Amino acid sequence: MRYKNEQERQCHQSFACIYEQYKDVNPGRVLGTCKWVLDHPQFQAWQRTGHNDLLWISADPGCGKSVLSKFLVDHEFQTADQITVCYFFFKDNELQDNLAIALRALLHQLFSHQPQLLHHAISM
């Protein structure tokens, strides 16, 4: 990644955390599963929109939200050039139920994909 200056590099690094590891503790999908979401009308509408919309997936505990989300992040959103996808996997433990860590992870991803926004995070 190219930074305009050292201050931007330091700012971006200050948001770094191990959010990928939080995602990767979730099991991978069983072959043939999770594809249903790609055909769901709400998902397709979200993909087509030109707005900065939020995709919210909710269900009861144990229904596979994390497996589905991991599948989307690892396979469907990796090739997305026109959109920025940021994620954080919440779990019931000290590191993954912390809002500050989640925001830090989301900002790190946002600045990685949209470095022109870094100057907004630098204190004057």
Q: Sign of the CA dihedral 85, 91, 96, 98? A: positive
Amino acid residing at 28: G
- Max CA separation in the chain (angstroms): 51
User: How far, in Å, CA of 99 to CA of 104, rounded?
Assistant: 8
SS3 category, 74: helix
Confidence band (pLDDT; 50, 70, 90) for 124? low
SS3 category, 113: helix
* pLDDT, tens digit (0-9, with 9 covering 90-100), for 17-28: 888 888 999 999
* Torsion angle in degrees (nearest 10) through CA of 117, 22, 80, 44: -110
Q: What is the pLDDT of residue 18?
A: 87
The CA-atom distances, in angstroms, between 53 and each of 5, 42, 43 are 31, 12, 11
Q: What is the pLDDT of residue 52?
A: 73
Higher pLDDT, 103 or 46: 103
* pLDDT, tens digit (0-9, with 9 covering 90-100), for 43-99: 999 888 867 778 888 999 899 999 999 999 998 887 766 778 889 998 888 878 889
Q: What is the pLDDT of residue 56?
A: 85
Q: What is the pLDDT of residue 66?
A: 93
The set of residues, in sequence order, having a beta carbon less than 8 Å from that of 14 and lying 6+ positions away, is: none
8 Å CB contact between 83 and 106: no
Residue spans of the domains in the chain: they are: 1-27+81-124
